[in-house]
Amino acid sequence: MKTIKQENPLIHCMTNMVVTNFTANGLLAIGASPVMAYSKEETADMASAADGLLLNIGTPSEAVIESMIIAGRAANAQGTPVILDPVGAGATPFRNHIIRKILDEVNVALIRGNAGEIAAILGEVGTVKGVDAQIKTDPIQLAIKAAKQLNCVIVVTGATDVISDGMRTVTVKNGHPWLTRVVGTGCLLGGVICAYSAVKSESLIDAATEALVFYGVAAERAFTKTQTQGIASFQIQFINELSQLTEDEAALFKQVEEIELEEKEK
Ligand SMILES: Nc1ncnc2c1ncn2[C@@H]1O[C@H](COP(=O)(O)OP(=O)(O)O)[C@@H](O)[C@H]1O
Ligand SMILES: Cc1ncsc1CCOP(=O)(O)O
Ligand SMILES: [Mg+2]
């Protein structure tokens, strides 16, 4: 967080039309510099200038996906981390096709999704309704399996968040259920993880873990201050907390665990 505030990383967000403003404000709040750019005429240039690239397929079209692949390749050429949020994976065949295409053509460093979306990428059916998870599976086993199969860092979010690269696995229990009652909190989280990855690219697991702790503690504080008012106030207060919470304060409340697996499970 301190480094984000010092370095002010430029985060090229190719995200969905539901969450664009919320994502830009959330990234500004933590000290990053968001930019949204979608036209294929400019996405390679913007991604080349950026410190992180977020590909979020929430409201997809053929044209935007083509632009995302152009941006992704440009980011890869610079060694810039590419984060994929596979919103609604499994909800329609088109989304499954898009995700496959992105993963085939772009070197994605980290995928962040809810359990249903990550399970859908692995080929499970009936795990997603619209953009919401419909399964109660063990997120630890899911994250490990996905990381091994997809060969990148996986973040499965939910009541317990799991981060895995297939070898090392960490859980984060910070957060609040009200995050699920405000649209775009998963999508903004993808952007926040992208900002952390931009300044800590040597360990994406550590970058994502720190991002999830900070995000979760900000939500806990926002709930404490707005629980008598309701979720609209929570949404606003959450942005306030993202801008005011310090790394040291967040660390006091962190609920992080390294998962030790039996040798045979590795
Ligand atoms: N039951 C819960 N309790 C606490 N935090 C949660 C809960 N469910 C989700 N979160 C948090 O909400 C954020 C968005 O995650 P999630 O709802 O899984 O994403 P999406 O909006 O893409 O479905 C994450 O920070 C996650 O930790
Ligand atoms: C409702 C909706 N429909 C298409 S994208 C989108 C936003 C999903 O955002 P999140 O998964 O972060 O709640
Ligand atoms: Mg989502």
- pLDDT single digits (tens) 213-249: 999 999 999 999 999 999 999 999 999 999 999 999 9
Q: What percent of the chain has a predicted confidence (pLDDT) above 70? A: 98
The pLDDT assigned to 136 comes to 81
**112 marked as binding residue:** yes
The pLDDT assigned to 133 comes to 86
Q: Quick check: 4 and 32 in contact, CB under 8 A? A: yes
Distance (Å) from CA 156 to ligand 1 centroid: 9
> In total, how many domains does the chain have?
1
Which letter does DSSP use for residue 85 in this model?
E
The pLDDT assigned to 107 comes to 98
Does the pLDDT value for residue 263 go beyond 60?
no
**184 marked as binding residue:** yes
**100 marked as binding residue:** no
The pLDDT assigned to 266 comes to 57
Kindly give the number of the ligand 1 atom that is closest to the alpha carbon of 212. Answer: 25
The pLDDT assigned to 137 comes to 86
Instruction: Give 265's pLDDT tier (boundaries 50, 70, 90).
Output: low
ipTM for the whole predicted complex goes beyond 0.85: yes
Token couple for 174? 């910070």
From 14, 15, 17, 19, give the residue whose CB has the most ligand 2 atoms within 8 Å, as the site to mutate. 19
Residue pLDDT, tens place only, 4-23: 999 999 999 999 999 999 99
The pLDDT assigned to 128 comes to 86
Distance (Å) from CA 214 to ligand 2 centroid: 21
Residues lining ligand 2, Cβ inside 6 A: 16, 18-19, 58-59, 87, 131, 183-187
Query: Closest residue (by CA) to atom 13 of ligand 1?
Result: 186
Residue pLDDT, tens place only, 77-90: 999 999 999 999 99
Does the pLDDT value for residue 112 go beyond 90?
yes
The pLDDT assigned to 262 comes to 65
Residue pLDDT, tens place only, 176-221: 999 999 999 999 999 999 999 999 888 999 999 999 999 999 999 9
Residue pLDDT, tens place only, 87-104: 999 999 999 999 999 999
Long-range pairs, 144-152, Cβ under 8 A, ≥24: 144/169, 144/261, 146/111, 146/118, 146/121, 146/122, 149/122, 150/103, 150/108, 150/111, 150/121, 152/108, 152/109, 152/110, 152/111
- CATH classification at residue 59: 3.40.1190.20
Whole-structure pTM value: 0.97
Query: Closest residue (by CA) to atom 19 of ligand 1?
Result: 186
Does residue 265 fall inside a structural domain? no
Does residue 228 fall inside a structural domain? yes
Q: Residue 125 carries which side chain, given as an amino acid letter? A: V
Does residue 264 fall inside a structural domain? no
Residues paired with residue 257 on neighbouring β-strands, in sequence order:
171
Q: How high is the mean pLDDT of the chain? A: 96
* Cα separation, 229 vs 235, whole angstroms: 11
Residue pLDDT, tens place only, 37-88: 999 999 999 999 999 999 999 999 999 999 999 999 999 999 999 999 999 9
Does residue 266 fall inside a structural domain? no
From 14, 15, 16, give the residue whose CB has the most ligand 2 atoms within 8 Å, as the site to mutate. 16
Distance (Å) from CA 186 to ligand 3 centroid: 5
Does residue 158 fall inside a structural domain? yes
Q: Quick check: 27 and 193 in contact, CB under 8 A? A: no
Containing structural domain, residue 122: 2-259
CB atoms inside a 10 Å sphere around CB 95: 22
**168 marked as binding residue:** no
Query: Closest residue (by CA) to atom 5 of ligand 2?
Result: 58
